[in-house]
Amino acid sequence: MSEALVMGAVAYDPKVVTIWDGFQRWFAEHDFAFDYVLYSNYERLVEAHFHGDVDLAWNSPLAWLQAERIADRAGRRAEAIAMRNTDCDLTSVIVARSDSGIESAADLRGKTVAVGAADSPQGTLIPLGHLAEAGLEPDSDFTVRRFDVLLGKHGDHVGGERDAAKALVRGEVDAACMIDFNHYFFGKEGTLPSGSTRILAQTGEYDHCNFTVLDDAPADSIQRFRELLLSMSYDDPQVRPLLDLEGLKQWEPGRTEKYALLAQAIDRFGTIDEFVARVAESAK
């Protein structure tokens, strides 16, 4: 077998091992040598990618922007080659209790808003950016209560958002931020009782994770990986359980235009500047 293409990913949940072990077997059956390395956090993964420890990275949206900006500073190039169909056209919502008397985002002035982990694009950065664009500055015009669950994993779990939702139900905060799917899911599972919340604001659309490659990646192997990835069928009984675990029905070509909202948020809050500067200097 030829030298394997090595992917890096973050172990945000035990199921990650099941997913990539299964994909590894599927790739092997298609005569493609593939391996993976798991990291405890995205900053470690991004840095390892620039040091040549992996050939491509399964990145969060924040990790993608870290990689893109590090590459730009270091005179290199980063490319998003593929993503899940469920990574596209997402939104986040800011919700209040239906009985709170809070009717709109403007009513949050002087109130307390719960968010997920500080590095969560969907549960913190994008919704806080949305409120800031509307004239409500976080920690100035309203108090932010952060639920920093698993920092470094960029909100790739529901922990922080679920804790924020629970705080809303208990009346400890006046509003909570979460991805729109989690708002639906929390209602379905009972964390947010049916009819108990009102959506005050909804963000614009954004995209989530992608496979990121750098300009020194083995071009032929990357092309074959992408071809095989995009050929996976939800009708295939071997890969369908893996796709379900990874939360998609089809892999799509990568795109980057819908990271704009997150880029605006991190520019406003200075979220990744220090990390980008440090890694870019070592990546030159």
Query: Model confidence over 104-149: pLDDT tens digits?
Result: 999 999 999 999 999 999 999 999 999 999 999 999 999 999 999 8
Q: Quick one: 127 and 50 in the same domain?
A: no
Do residues 112 and 70 both lie within one domain? no
- Kindly state whether residues 117 and 83 are assigned to the same domain: no
Mean pLDDT for back-to-back runs of 10 residues, the chain (284 residues): 87 96 98 98 98 98 98 97 98 98 97 97 98 97 95 91 97 98 95 96 98 97 98 97 98 98 96 95 86
Q: Taking each helix axis as running N to C, give the angle between helix 159-169 and helix 180-189, from 0 to 180 degrees, rounded to the nearest 10.
A: 60
pLDDT for the residue 183: 97
Cβ atoms 142, 109 nearer than 8 A: yes
Q: Specify the CATH number for the domain of residue 140.
A: 3.40.190.10
Q: Are residues 196 and 105 in the same domain?
A: yes
Burial of 126 (0-12, 13-18, 19+ CB in 10 A): buried
Number of domains in the chain: 2
Last-in-domain residue among 155, 177, 202: 202
- 96 in the same domain as 185: yes
Residue 284: predicted pLDDT: 76
| Distance separating alpha carbons of residues 23 and 244, to the nearest angstrom | 12
Q: Are residues 185 and 244 in the same domain?
A: no
Query: In terms of domains, do 110 and 239 share one?
Result: no
Together in a domain, 102 and 126? yes
> What is the Cα–Cα distance from 18 to 244, expressed in whole angstroms?
12
What residue numbers bound the domain in which 29 lies? 5-87+208-283
